[in-house]
């Protein structure tokens, strides 16, 4: 009786199809062996995409608009970039052992902000290159930054994507097409 009440109104073909999909996923093995071997490479690929978008956004925004704020209570574009710079140095230096440098002031010249941003990406490049299938589950850091190596890479990717999304809004408000929306 319960089975009939539970299944009443459910399309049996849909139910069987869903079961088969879940079963196939449960037994599927990735080509080439253990999926954990690909985790660091997947993180690096995602990082490279957002890195390129942020660097291109920093270049594309005119220096006169680096002080632009989307609303009075939010950061100007320059501070979005210096925030990414600082956050990247903080996260990636946990993997490389480097000492994060001082950040440029938000009112610094575009070239100085871009140089610091590039340096933070250079440090993160080293961090992403240092994580392998063998060491990706080792933990580093402390407090809220206590993560596995692979977790720290994904933390950085997630933060960079969040900041790039905000930059894209600033660019649209200034009539610019964000790099990720440009025709390839």
- Residue 158 has, within 13 A of its CA and on its CB side, a CA count of 7
Which tens digit of pLDDT belongs to each residue from 167-183? 999 999 999 999 999 97
CA distance 67 to 42: 35
Q: How confident is the model at residue 47 (pLDDT cuts 50, 70, 90)?
A: very high
Comparison of pLDDT for 29 and 61, the residue scoring more: 61
Q: How confident is the model at residue 145 (pLDDT cuts 50, 70, 90)?
A: confident
User: What is the fold, at CATH topology level, of the domain defined by 38-181?
Assistant: 1.20.120
Comparison of pLDDT for 32 and 139, the residue scoring more: 139
CA distance 34 to 25: 15
Alpha helices by DSSP H, listed for the chain, are 2-7, 12-27, 36-60, 77-96, 110-130, 149-173
CA distance 123 to 35: 26
Domain residues of the chain, as ranges? 38-181
Q: How confident is the model at residue 184 (pLDDT cuts 50, 70, 90)?
A: low
Which tens digit of pLDDT belongs to each residue from 76-111? 999 999 999 999 999 999 999 999 888 898 689 999
Residue 14: pLDDT above 90?
no
């Amino acid at each position: 009786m319960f089975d009939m009440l539970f299944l009443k109104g459910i399309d049996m073909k849909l139910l069987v199809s869903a079961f088969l999909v879940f079963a196939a996923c449960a037994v599927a093995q990735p080509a080439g062996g253990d999926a954990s071997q690909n985790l660091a490479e997947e993180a690096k690929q995602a990082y490279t995409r957002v890195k390129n978008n942020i660097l291109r956004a920093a270049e594309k925004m005119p220096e006169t608009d680096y002080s632009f704020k989307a609303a009075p209570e939010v950061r100007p574009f320059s501070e979005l970039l210096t925030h990414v710079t600082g956050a990247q140095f903080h996260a990636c230096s946990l993997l490389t052992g480097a000492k994060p440098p001082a950040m440029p002031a938000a009112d610094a010249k575009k070239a100085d902000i871009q140089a610091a941003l590039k340096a933070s990406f250079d440090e993160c490049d080293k961090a992403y290159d240092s994580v392998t299938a063998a060491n990706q589950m080792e933990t580093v850091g402390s407090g809220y930054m206590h993560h596995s190596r692979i977790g720290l890479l994904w933390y950085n990717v997630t933060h960079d994507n969040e900041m790039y999304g905000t930059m894209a809004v600033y660019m649209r408000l200034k009539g610019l097409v964000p790099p990720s929306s440009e025709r390839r």
